Amino acid sequence: MDDGLAGSLQMGYERSMDLITSTDALAAACDRLSQHPFVTVDTEFLRETTYYPKLCLIQMAGPDPADAVLIDPLAEGMSLDPFMALMANRNVVKVFHSARQDLEIIWNLGGIVPEPLFDTQVAAMVCGYGDSVSYEQLSNDLAKAKIDKSSRFTDWSRRPLSDAQLTYALSDVTHLVKVYEALVSQLQANGRLEWLGEEMSILTSPETYQADPDNAWRRLAGRLRKSKEVAILMEIAAWREREAQSRDVPRGRILKDDAVIDIATSAPRSVEALGRLRTIPNGFERSRTGGEILEAVERALARDPATIPMPERSRGRNNTGSVVDLLKVLLKAVAEQEGVAPKIIATVEELEAIAESDDADVPSLHGWRRKLFGDKALALKNGQLGMVLERGRVKLREIAPA
């Protein structure tokens, strides 16, 4: 063994792919990476049996391939403080692909959101690669690399990790270097680099990752119509979220979504009534949690209906359905013409809001989105813009005032 390899092993590296297993080795790697203008980052985790994702591996790389590293957060005595310090270093751009789940993990463990941030999936949407483009496609198109996906769904918590797992994991950040550089070049060439600002501000907001139990009801609220039902939903969903968090288990392990809805619509006030619900497991109604559910129902029924925040109903009423349909066609036409994914310009909910009001406070009526699409949407709605079909493509035509 040569002196260099021996020194690396002493510092906590394993295998030829630099699996870091000590805090000192991690600190040294992060110090090297902090000298670069950007670092690519990815994580491997499990969350099938837990509420919070269990971090199993961290991958990072810089412009120099020699700096690519794999970090074992499960190694005995490992502190992730050097990694968190690098994530907080504002002199280094942190590059992820489809960053939300990775950022959630970093927020949960370190209480920080990496900044400045660059999400290649979002950037690819701005560059016309479609909605939610995969890392494999971008690697193939921009880095001319094929990803071996055979290790994707392996158990990343088991040790030792195989060479195949480590090779796959490292490829998730090494090819991302070229993907990032290619996308930045495209964005600079078409003057759209600043378009990412709003999307990145959402991803870097701590509120994005704070799971507030009092807001858990909103995910299911669209299926309910009465204030009494929503009141019960708010109580039951909050109770379930707190239970899942405190026990670190998936919320479905506490109570399935269908059971939460059943309780909200039937409002059981006795053990017998709770037990009659088809979505409640046998005997559940007589357990401690069954009693807590009944208490939550009573709290909900005691609330003043006027204080219940009813969910927004789907827009598109008031005879605006046909307007929304036209706006969808316009959105697709603009997206094709400009080479941008429709999803990043406007959502269906935004189109419904625009159909109802010219003054709707939605992203597509602000900033670059307004210039690209919003002004055209208002013009179409108000009879100042028309659409015609020419050789199978939608073309826009200004309409002169009558």
Q: Domain boundary residue among 185, 208, 231?
A: 208
Based on the fold, state whether residues 249 and 303 are members of the same structural domain. Answer: yes
Q: Specify the residue for token string 């394993």.
A: 14
312 lies in some domain: no
pLDDT at 238 over 70: yes
187 lies in some domain: yes
Based on the fold, state whether residues 202 and 114 are members of the same structural domain. Answer: yes
pLDDT at 310 over 90: no
Kindly report which listed range (147-156, 204-213, 357-366) carries the lowest average pLDDT score: 147-156
**How far apart, in Å, are the Cα atoms of 248 and each of 49, 240, 352?**
8, 12, 38
Q: How high does pLDDT run on average in the chain?
A: 90
Query: Given CA atoms 182, 146, 159, 163 in this order, what sign does their dihedral have?
Result: negative
Q: Specify the residue for token string 């619509």.
A: 265
What percentage of residues in the chain have a pLDDT greater than 70? 93
Based on the fold, state whether residues 65 and 150 are members of the same structural domain. Answer: yes
Strand 393-398 to strand 38-46: parallel, antiparallel, or no bridges (unpaired)?
A: unpaired
pLDDT at 370 over 80: yes
Structure confidence at residue 57 (pLDDT): 98
Structure confidence at residue 18 (pLDDT): 64
Based on the fold, state whether residues 264 and 138 are members of the same structural domain. Answer: no
* Contact between 63 and 180 (Cβ < 8 Å): no
Structure confidence at residue 9 (pLDDT): 36
Q: What band does 313 get if pLDDT is binned at 50, 70 and 90?
A: low
What are 58's strand-pairing partners?
A: 43, 71
Q: Domain boundary residue among 170, 192, 208?
A: 208
- Joined together, the tokens standing for residue 326 give 């036209």
Based on the fold, state whether residues 16 and 163 are members of the same structural domain. Answer: yes
Q: What band does 179 get if pLDDT is binned at 50, 70 and 90?
A: very high
Domain count, the chain: 3
DSSP alpha helix (H) spans, 285-358: 288-301, 321-338, 342-345, 348-356
Kindly report which listed range (20-24, 44-48, 94-98, 146-150) carries the lowest average pLDDT score: 146-150
Based on the fold, state whether residues 31 and 127 are members of the same structural domain. Answer: yes
316 lies in some domain: no
The pLDDT tens digits of the residues spanning 218-234 come to 989 887 889 999 999 99
Structure confidence at residue 2 (pLDDT): 38
Based on the fold, state whether residues 96 and 183 are members of the same structural domain. Answer: yes
Closest CA to 243 of 291, 283, 310: 291
315 lies in some domain: no
Based on the fold, state whether residues 202 and 63 are members of the same structural domain. Answer: yes
CATH number at residue 37: 3.30.420.10
Distance CA 192, CA 123 (A): 9
pTM of full prediction above 0.75 = yes
Q: What band does 150 get if pLDDT is binned at 50, 70 and 90?
A: confident
What are 388's strand-pairing partners?
A: 395
Distance CA 171, CA 379 (A): 47
Q: Domain boundary residue among 307, 337, 367?
A: 307
Q: What band does 215 get if pLDDT is binned at 50, 70 and 90?
A: very high
> What's the mean pLDDT in 195-216?
89
Q: What band does 327 get if pLDDT is binned at 50, 70 and 90?
A: very high
pLDDT at 3 over 70: no
**How far apart, in Å, are the Cα atoms of 374 and each of 155, 168, 307, 329, 338?**
46, 42, 35, 13, 14
CATH number at residue 295: 1.10.150.80
Kindly report which listed range (10-24, 59-73, 335-349) carries the lowest average pLDDT score: 10-24
55 lies in some domain: yes
pLDDT at 317 over 80: no
pLDDT at 11 over 50: no
Based on the fold, state whether residues 261 and 393 are members of the same structural domain. Answer: no
Based on the fold, state whether residues 152 and 292 are members of the same structural domain. Answer: no
Q: What band does 272 get if pLDDT is binned at 50, 70 and 90?
A: very high
Which residue segment(s) compose the domain that 223 sits in?
213-307
Based on the fold, state whether residues 300 and 333 are members of the same structural domain. Answer: no
182 lies in some domain: yes
180 lies in some domain: yes
Q: What band does 12 get if pLDDT is binned at 50, 70 and 90?
A: very low
Based on the fold, state whether residues 261 and 337 are members of the same structural domain. Answer: no
Q: What band does 402 get if pLDDT is binned at 50, 70 and 90?
A: low
174 lies in some domain: yes
